Chains A and B, each alone.
Chain A
Amino acid sequence: MNPKEYKYTKDHEWLCPEPGNKGRMGLANYAQTQLGDIVFLDLPQSGTRVAQFKKIGEVESVKAVSDLFSPASGKVLEINQSAVDEPKLVNEDPYGAGWLVRLELSDPSELDVLMNSDEYDKYEAEASA
């Protein structure tokens, strides 16, 4: 269920590498089920410089606010305006239509410290236990 080709953080964000040192990021399925109905996204503007594991925004559900951390360093290329307009996309399709930010990666070697899907599956199972 967690896509094989994605990389994951301990804060339950994912990064999907794209050609040309780019990548899309979003919230892992576990995070959206924990938060419940998401009603507000505060995402960085295009052009913003972000650093790996540093806060880049907020995700707010009916019951809770959660910080959003960047899985990698770089520059914000675009944000998913559809998800901003309709945050329930993050609940409905966290790995697809509910993506959040597209990044230009400044240091692709950073991805080596992220979990692959096998590692994350285990990590998620422990978090759920």
Chain B
Amino acid sequence: MKPLKKTPLNEVHHQLKARMIDFAGWELPVWYTSVLEEHKTVRSAAGIFDVSDMGRVWVTGKEAGVFLDRILTRPAQKLEVGSSQLSLMCLENGGILDDLWIFRVRTDRYLIVWNAANTEEKLDWLSRWSDSDSHVLIEDVSAGTAMVAVQGPVVPHVKTLQSVSHLPRFGYAETKIAGLSVSAARTGYTGEDGFEIVAEATKVLTLWESFIEQGVKPCGLGARDSLRLEAGMLLCGQDMDSGTDPFEADLGWLVDFDRGDFVGKKSLLEIKRQGVKRELIGFQMEGREIARPGYPIQKSGHEIGKVTSGGHAPTLGVNIGLGYVPVELSAIGTGIEIMIRNKPVPARIVNKRFYRRGV
């Protein structure tokens, strides 16, 4: 087994006596004090996550937008400077290689932030499609930089963030925070307001400490997972992968056909024309049992799919999950059973935006 990779904040996590685990090859905190407490902190106040495991890639050059338009499902050239969007990178057969955030820094410069897993495969994919384009520079700066997410309703009032408090949702700026030059965006993966900030690896500790001094609480992967699940956000590699197309994952809104060719377009058009056979649904357990990834989903004693994410929803006080079922059985309100250690346990299909801010 390869030794686990460490983020520039690794020592801080150990000093805080966080419970550390292996996440996609990275040693990261799953919790500092308690997943439930950290979850509540982000829903009610402000929490900070070390998300340095996520890959950061600069794409620069006159043809950068043209290149990204070719490999992403949403047009990058239409994205305004200082803005960002969620997008997908699909294979030629329409399978999802990754979901990623793309930030337009300048007309000829973009920042891509993608998931920790399969970095080599994704970088190979980029260079494969950029070969003919000598005008595009692709730089993986993941090792030299670090990234934190500061999330929660109180975050806009945190003093350190004054320089970015004017940013609209999904807005992006290169600015100074805590005296450091950073890239910051009003984005996140928790269902709350907040910012994601990229800084130099050697200086990120200053940034982290400035937030801690202002009462922002460290939060781990456990809360990161329960927060995103409550908000109905998918985790790539778990809720979708190269064997899943955007339409069955209910991410058809991320596919824009109304433009020139892009990788996967032909297959995706065909998939859309034929219609999907299965669909990602949200479900709520009727009782107190917890569904976990991989558990079978049944209807009247027959297996119809598998759970892809599941857990406790602290804000809602119930247990929830995501999974794939045949389209004809995917209507909201449908009763299903989750097989929990060989026992069918009743659940019900619900809207997968389980939690909405301000509700």
Show the binding face of A for B, using Cβ within 8 Å.
36-37, 39-40, 42, 58, 60, 62-63, 65, 88, 91
Contacts and interface: CB of A to CB of B under 8 A. Distances in A.
Given A62-B311, A62-B312, A63-B222, A36 B290 contact: no
B164 to A, nearest CB: 32
B31 A36 contact: yes
B350 interface: no
Contacts of A62: 35-36, 222, 226, 311-312
B70 to A, nearest CB: 40
Given A36-B30, A62-B36, A63-B222, 8 more contacts: A36-B31, A36-B34, A39-B290, A39-B312, A62-B35, A63-B31, A65-B290, A65-B292
Nearest to A60: B290
A117 B345 CA distance: 39
| Residue among A37, A62, A65, A91 with max Cβ neighbours from chain B (10 Å) | A62
Contact of A36 (B222, B288, B341): B222
Given A62-B311, A62-B312, A37 B290 contact: no
A62 B311 CA distance: 7
Contacts of A36: 19, 30-31, 34-35, 222
Smallest CB-CB A-B distances: 6 pairs = A62-B35, A37-B36, A39-B312, A40-B288, A37-B34, A37-B35
A37 B226 CA distance: 13
B356 to A, nearest CB: 22
A37 B30 CA distance: 12
Contact of B289 (A37, A40, A63, A88): A40
A65 B319 CA distance: 14
A40 B312 CA distance: 10
A113 B31 CA distance: 35
Given A36-B222, A40-B289, A40-B290, A63 B30 contact: yes
20 contacts: A36-B19, A36-B31, A36-B34, A36-B35, A37-B34, A37-B35, A39-B290, A40-B288, A40-B289, A42-B289, A58-B341, A60-B289, A62-B35, A62-B36, A63-B30, A63-B31, A65-B290, A65-B292, A88-B36, A91-B34
A91 B311 CA distance: 18
Given A36-B19, A36-B222, A39-B312, A63 B35 contact: yes
Contacts of A39: 36, 288, 290, 312, 319
Contacts of A91: 34
A100 to B, nearest CB: 16
A40 B285 CA distance: 13
Nearest to B311: A62
B127 to A, nearest CB: 37
A17 to B, nearest CB: 31
A62 B35 CA distance: 7
Interface in B306-323: 311-312, 319
B313 to A, nearest CB: 10
Interface string B11-43: 000000001000000000011001110000000
Contacts of B36: 37, 39, 62, 88
A113 B300 CA distance: 46
A63 B288 CA distance: 15
Contacts of B311: 62
Nearest to B34: A37
A126 to B, nearest CB: 18
A40 B318 CA distance: 11
B221 to A, nearest CB: 9
A27 to B, nearest CB: 16
Contacts of A58: 341
Contacts of A63: 30-31, 35, 222
